[in-house]
Amino acid sequence: MPAASAIAFIVGLPSFVLVPFGPLLEGALKVHAHQALLQPAGPCSIFTPVHDGTLHRLFPSAKFDEPLKRYTAWKIGGPADALLEPKSADEVVAAVNAARENDVPVTVLGGGTNVLVRDGGIRGLTIRLAKSLTNVEADGTSVIADAGVLYPVLANTTAAKGLAGLEFATGIPGTVGGAVFMNAGAYGSETTEVLDWADVFEADAGEVVRMKNEDLRLSYRRSILHEHPDWLVLRAGYTLRPGDAESLKARIKEFRAQRMNGSPNRPSCGSTFKRPPGDFPGRVIEAAGLKGTRVGNLEVSPVHANYLVNLGGGTAEDALKLIELVRNTVREKLGVELESEVRVIGEP
């Protein structure tokens, strides 16, 4: 089978390749130059290996055979064949185009939260946007932020300028691109409430399109981008409200304190499961008696049951087994179906 070109924005972008653990979805979007491929996950790579010389030739500034556990909040992940940290949106577009032309699979990482990189790592090219595309511009109440800007950083930046509306973002440890993709939210607010537009690179068409809020079809932890694996967020525009900078910074400080008090101080991907109808995932997991449950070096946190924490040296296999154990136990004991928020990428 020819190599596929894959684009994923973690929290950024997920793919829809089924993994052998219930309904979890694998996070890398496998897209050939002209069509998406749906493949069952197996013990072998679905990609024809890319020759190292090809990667070095196409992406000379990349890091090669780079351990991705250095770039994920869970501190889990095998090596990327090539890891590129671009300096501009134009460089992102050029890299994706070069990869597509040479049948090199592509995975795009945001902040490394809400994502699990499997132990076999990621083949082809991995593009990391966090700490790369980080420009923020404000003009009156309008704000434009690159896809790699961390959401808490954007919250602090806008509050300091006396712009209200993004304070909730301090509780979301992902990036602007991932927040658009997932319609990220916290503390009763969501991205859709302040997002005006997003510039989206439609790789199959080879063009950047400015999509309005309504065109993105934002809903609970979802957007139209889930349906288009070859689309990639480059930047986003927000319309905020005038506010008092000191009051806004104080509110952010309160949100941050709430998060610190209720979150375990160990590596995790953040919240593991979405809210079930009329309830909270942490409550039902605790009610099922699962706090402190371990698989290998992954544990259901005794502090907050919706956090699965890495005690040190944990593997993606441990995490996937623990996720499935939690889902099955909650279903059997309480009749509640939990849906994972975690995007699983890479290979076993």
Q: Is 271 a catalytic residue?
A: yes
Q: Which of 271, 299, 324, 327 is catalytic?
A: 271
Q: 340, 341, 343, 347: which is the annotated catalytic residue?
A: 341
Strands 343-345, 115-117: pairing kind: parallel
Which of 116, 80, 28, 109 is CA-nearest to residue 37? 28
Quick one: 305 exposed, middle or buried, by C-beta within 10 A (0-12, 13-18, 19+)?
A: buried
For 102-232, where are the alpha helices, taking DSSP H only?
Answer: 151-160, 176-182, 213-216
221 has catalytic annotation: yes
Query: Which pair of structure tokens corresponds to residue 145?
Result: 């932020």
- Of 189, 193, 192, 196, nearest to 142 by C-alpha is 196
Name the token pair of 197.
Answer: 């537009």
**Angstrom distance (rounded) from CA 348 to CA 343:** 14
- Asked whether 29 and 122 are in contact (CB, 8 A), the reply is no
User: How far is 291 from 88, CA to CA, in rounded Å?
Assistant: 43
Catalytically annotated residue among 221, 235, 251, 327: 221
Rounded CA separation 295/300 (Å): 9
Is 88 considered catalytic here? no
Catalytic residue IDs = 221, 271, 341
